[in-house]
Structure 1
């Protein structure tokens, strides 16, 4: 795909760059206890099925017995505890080859991030992984309140990109790419499944082969 004409590689985070679900499950369960709300607790497997969706959708999926106001309140607690836990984490939770590959390819490719996460999560991800110097721009649901497809289009317009490719791990990512009108590369090592993609990554390092062919 060398000289493919893409002027941007847009990345998902969870299930693509790293896997925080074990850490986040502990943090969210702490938040649930602290909230005083009668809400069921979570585990890493449950979160892997939910991550990639917008925060309000996740809250509705996990705690349908709560009112919308209670769901919003609890998710706010969860996000606060999550950020503390991830910031304090000392274990390497990035997928193999992600950081090295982005650093290597950034000399010839422009990398961006679009996620359905809360505001502040992308910044924390870049800080913890050391990827801040290699990410040109980013957008998220927490900042705009818009869908992933819309945020992809917002980021592309802001950076005057006429051609980009998105790397993600779920059907939701695939659907967002179709809606945004850009091709999709499936990170098959992540949390979900996909059926329509231009390339499949068994390992993030595979990206080097794709962009040098």
Structure 2
């Protein structure tokens, strides 16, 4: 594997854990709409990283697509409202590691989230000056492999890698034709990777040594 010129990071399960805030955004929206439903952390854990259209079918099977998507849009608006104060838990070493890595690489964040969530995360983490660009599923409703190629083409990246925490991340990265780096502390499992790290400090140390 060649030395990368850029690192593209997944967000949820890779850089932070905001599942409790995400669950709360569902429950506040349901309460507002008088829907008798409670979403727990465990309900969302198995769905993290999933594209919005697939996620709504699983969480709201009794609603037609238009109604489910409408509710999901309201959930995302609620999420944008509460994230600046509720935030999430940064994984150990991420903020410091990102700042170090940014001195050596172009850094990107690419996530299957709604528009506006990544900038809120970047502000929460205090890494506004360290991230070159980001891309969210909500910008075009396209899968990760498509959006990886958009970032690669836009920034003329030659040897990027994608860093994520699920088998879905691995599959999408393969489809984009770039190496996949797995962080084992996140939400998922996979055996399909070029490199794996058990913590962010190890990842930072490795890439800073290249």
What is the DSSP-based 3-state SS (H/G/I as helix, E as strand, rest coil) of the residue aligned with 2:46?
helix
1:35 aligns with 2:33: yes
1:45 aligns with 2:42: yes
The residue that corresponds to 1:123 in the other structure is 119
List runs of 5+ in structure 2 lacking aligned partners.
none
User: Residues of 1 paired with 2:197 and 2:83: CA distance?
Assistant: 26
Show CA shifts across 1:80-115 (max 9, x none): 11122211127x611000010010121111110111
1:170 aligns with 2:166: yes
State the TM-score, normalized to the length of structure 1: 0.93
1:87 aligns with 2:69: no
Give 1:1-213 correspondences, 5 Å limit. Answer: 4-37=2-35, 40-89=37-86, 93-211=89-207, 212=209
Tell me by how many angstroms 1:176 deviates: 0.6
Tell me by how many angstroms 1:27 deviates: 2.1
User: Residues of 1 paired with 2:107 and 2:86: CA distance?
Assistant: 25
Show CA shifts across 1:55-81 (max 9, x none): 121111111111111111111111111
CA contact (8 A) 1:6 1:165 kept: yes
User: Residues of 1 paired with 2:169 and 2:142: CA distance?
Assistant: 14
CA contact (8 A) 1:168 1:187 kept: yes
State the TM-score, normalized to the length of structure 2: 0.94
| Matched pairs, number | 209
What is the DSSP-based 3-state SS (H/G/I as helix, E as strand, rest coil) of the residue aligned with 2:134?
strand
What is the DSSP-based 3-state SS (H/G/I as helix, E as strand, rest coil) of the residue aligned with 1:135?
coil
